[in-house]
C-alpha cells in the first residue's frame, strides 16, 4: 500500500509548510468562507450563514468575555475568598428564555429559505443526474441527450509525476451545459452506491441514492463555468468525480444541443461500420481507461480480494458469450455493474475486444473478438 516518496517529494514535504507564509492569497476571503454563489437561493443561503455566524460571534464575545474577566479578576491571588452563592432562579429563567428567543428569530428566515428551496416544480429543462462509481451521467429528458462526465485530470498529475494544472481535480471531459436564466431541474439518483451531487455556486447538494430520485432546481443568471464535487463517500475514487456545469447563453445552448444530437447520429452510424481488429482494440483501450481501470487496474490485474483480475480470467480468455453477458448485465452481488446503458454498442464491443487481446490474453485464450453487431444481436429480445 505504501508508495515510496520520491526525492523531490521529500524536499517539498520539508519546505512547503513555510511557503504559505509568502503567499498573499492565504488571507483571501473566498479561500476561507462559503461562496455567495450565482443564484438567488445561494445568496439567501450565504446571508443565513453569515447571520448565524455573527449571532454566534456576539454570543461568544459576551459569554467568553464574562469568563475571561472572571478568570482574571477572580483568581485566587486577586480574590482569596470566594463568594458562596450557588443558585438564582431568576437568572436561570432569563438565560433559558433569552437564547430561546434568539433561536426563534433565527429559525424564521431559515425556515423561509428552506420553503423557497422546496418550491419544486418542473423546470424549463429537466436533467437526470445519475451517480456511478466514479463518474456522473447526465440525461437531458427533453432533448434525448445522454452522456457521461469523467474526471479529466491526468493520473500522472495526481501521482505527482507531472505538474498540476489550474483546475486540478475540478475538470471533466464533458461538463453539463445549461442555459442562463432558465429554470433547470435536476433529478438526481445513483446506479450503485450513494453519491451526492454538490454545486456550491447554486447551493445545491442532493444525495444521489439508488432507487430514489431526488430533485433540485436552479436559475442561474450569470454565464460561466462552475465547479462542484461528489460529497458522499462512494468508494476509492470518491475524490475523483467532480461536477462541472457550464452556463451559456440561450443561443449557445441551442447550438450545443444540435451538436450533441449530430454526434449521437454519427455514433449510430459507427455501429454499422465494419471494424478491423486494430481499430476495435485502439478504441477499446480508450474505453477501458475511462470506465474499467479504476477497479481492474492498468494491466487488468484487479485488486486481490475486491476486484477480480481480467488478465488470465477464464471468462475473458475462453467464454465470449459469458464475457458479453457480464458487461451487459453486471455480476450480481458484486461491485460489477451493468454497462449496457453506459456504453454504446461500439464502445462495448471495443472494450471487450481490447480486454480479450491485451496483456497476453490473446496468446492464452481463444482470442475471439467482439464486434458491434454482436452487441446489437445480444440486445434483441430473445424468442
Partner 1 sequence: MSAVIESHEQDHHHGPPKGITRWLYTTNHKDIGTLYLWLSFAMFLIGGAMALVIRAELFAPGMQIVEPEFYNQMLTLHGLIMVFGAVMPAFVGLANWQVPLQVGAPDMALPRMNNLSFWILPFAFIVLLSSLFMEGGAPNFGWTFYAPLSTTYAPPSVTFFIFSIHIMGASSIMGSINVIVTIMNMRAPGMTLMKMPLFVWSWLITAYLLIAVMPVLAGAVTMMLMDIHFGTSFFNAAGGGDPVLFQHIFWFFGHPEVYIMILPAFGITSHIIETFSRKQLFGYTSMVWAMTSIAILSFVVWAHHMFTVGMPLAAELFFMWATMLIAVPTGVKVFNWITTMFKGSISYETPMLFAIAFVVLFTIGGFSGLMLAITPADFQYHDTYFVVAHFHYVLVPGSIFAIMAGVYFWIPKWTGNMYDERLGRLHFWLSFISVNITFFPQHWVGLAGMPRRYPDYALQFADWNMVSTVGAFMFGASQILFLFIVLKTLMGGKKATAEVWESSRGLEWTLESPPPYHTFTTPPKVN
The footprint of partner 1 on residues 196-235 (CB under 8 A) is 196, 198, 200, 203-207, 209-212, 214-215, 228-235
- Give the single-character DSSP code of 1: -
Assigned C-alpha cell, 84: 458562596
SS3 165: coil
| Shortest Å, Cβ 375 to partner 1 | 23
Selected from 7, 83, 121, 363, the binder of partner 1 by CB under 8 A is: 83
Using CB under 8 A as the binding rule, whether residue 82 contacts partner 1 is answered as: yes
Q: Are strands 224-230 and 145-149 parallel, antiparallel or unpaired?
A: unpaired
The CA radius of gyration of the chain, in Å to the nearest whole number, is: 28
| Shortest Å, Cβ 275 to partner 1 | 34
| Shortest Å, Cβ 111 to partner 1 | 6
Smaller CB separation from partner 1, 186 or 354: 186
Of 111-119, 218-226, 274-282, 365-373, which segment contacts partner 1 by CB under 8 A?
A: 111-119
SS3 120: coil
Bond prior to 90 in cis (omega within 30° of 0): no
Of 39-47, 281-289, 344-352, 366-374, which segment contacts partner 1 by CB under 8 A?
A: 39-47
Handedness of CA 5, 11, 16, 18 (dihedral sign): positive
Distance CA 311, CA 302 (A): 8
Residues 251-290 that bind partner 1 (CB under 8 A): none
| Shortest Å, Cβ 99 to partner 1 | 5
Selected from 49, 152, 183, 373, the binder of partner 1 by CB under 8 A is: 49
CB 245 within 8 A of CB 225: yes
Using alpha carbons, select from 228, 224, 225 the residue that is nearest to residue 216: 228
Selected from 43, 52, 122, 221, the binder of partner 1 by CB under 8 A is: 52
Selected from 169, 270, 328, 340, the binder of partner 1 by CB under 8 A is: 169
Amino acid at each position: 500500500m505504501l508508495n515510496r516518496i520520491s526525492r523531490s517529494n521529500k524536499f517539498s514535504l520539508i519546505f512547503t509548510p513555510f511557503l504559505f507564509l509568502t503567499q498573499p492569497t492565504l488571507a483571501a476571503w473566498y479561500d476561507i468562507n462559503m461562496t455567495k454563489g450565482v443564484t438567488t437561493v445561494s445568496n439567501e443561503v450565504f446571508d443565513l450563514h453569515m447571520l448565524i455566524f455573527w449571532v454566534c460571534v456576539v454570543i461568544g464575545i459576551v459569554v467568553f468575555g464574562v469568563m475571561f474577566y472572571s478568570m482574571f479578576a477572580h483568581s485566587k491571588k486577586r480574590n482569596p475568598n470566594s463568594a458562596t452563592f450557588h443558585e438564582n432562579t431568576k437568572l436561570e429563567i432569563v438565560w433559558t428564555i433569552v437564547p430561546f428567543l434568539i433561536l426563534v428569530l433565527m429559525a424564521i428566515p431559515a425556515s423561509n429559505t428552506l420553503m423557497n428551496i422546496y418550491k419544486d416544480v418542473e423546470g424549463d429543462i429537466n436533467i437526470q443526474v445519475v451517480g456511478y462509481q466514479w463518474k456522473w451521467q447526465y440525461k437531458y429528458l427533453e432533448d434525448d441527450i445522454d452522456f457521461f462526465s469523467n474526471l479529466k485530470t491526468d493520473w500522472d498529475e495526481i501521482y505527482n509525476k507531472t505538474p498540476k494544472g489550474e483546475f486540478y481535480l475540478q475538470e471533466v471531459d464533458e461538463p453539463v451545459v445549461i442555459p442562463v436564466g432558465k429554470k433547470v431541474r435536476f433529478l438526481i439518483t445513483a446506479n450503485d452506491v450513494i453519491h451526492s451531487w454538490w454545486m456550491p455556486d447554486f447551493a445545491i447538494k442532493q444525495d444521489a441514492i439508488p432507487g430514489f430520485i431526488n430533485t433540485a432546481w436552479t436559475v442561474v443568471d450569470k454565464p460561466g463555468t462552475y465547479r462542484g464535487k461528489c460529497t458522499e463517500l462512494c468508494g476509492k475514487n470518491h475524490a475523483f468525480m467532480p461536477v462541472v456545469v457550464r452556463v451559456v447563453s440561450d443561443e449557445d445552448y441551442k447550438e450545443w444541443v444540435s451538436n450533441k444530437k449530430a454526434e449521437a447520429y454519427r455514433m449510430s452510424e459507427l455501429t454499422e461500420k465494419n471494424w478491423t481488429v486494430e481499430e476495435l482494440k485502439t478504441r477499446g483501450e480508450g474505453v477501458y481507461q475511462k470506465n474499467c481501470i479504476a477497479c481492474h487496474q492498468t494491466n487488468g490485474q484487479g485488486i486481490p480480494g475486491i476486484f477480480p483480475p481480467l488478465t488470465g480470467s477464464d471468462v475473458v480468455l475462453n467464454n465470449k458469450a459469458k464475457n458479453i453477458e457480464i458487461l451487459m448485465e453486471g455480476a450480481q452481488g458484486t461491485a460489477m455493474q451493468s454497462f449496457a446503458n453506459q456504453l454504446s454498442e461500439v464502445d462495448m464491443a471495443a472494450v471487450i475486444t481490447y480486454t480479450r487481446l491485451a496483456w497476453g490474453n490473446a496468446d492464452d485464450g481463444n482470442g475471439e473478438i467482439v464486434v458491434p453487431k454482436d452487441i446489437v444481436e445480444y440486445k434483441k429480445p430473445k424468442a
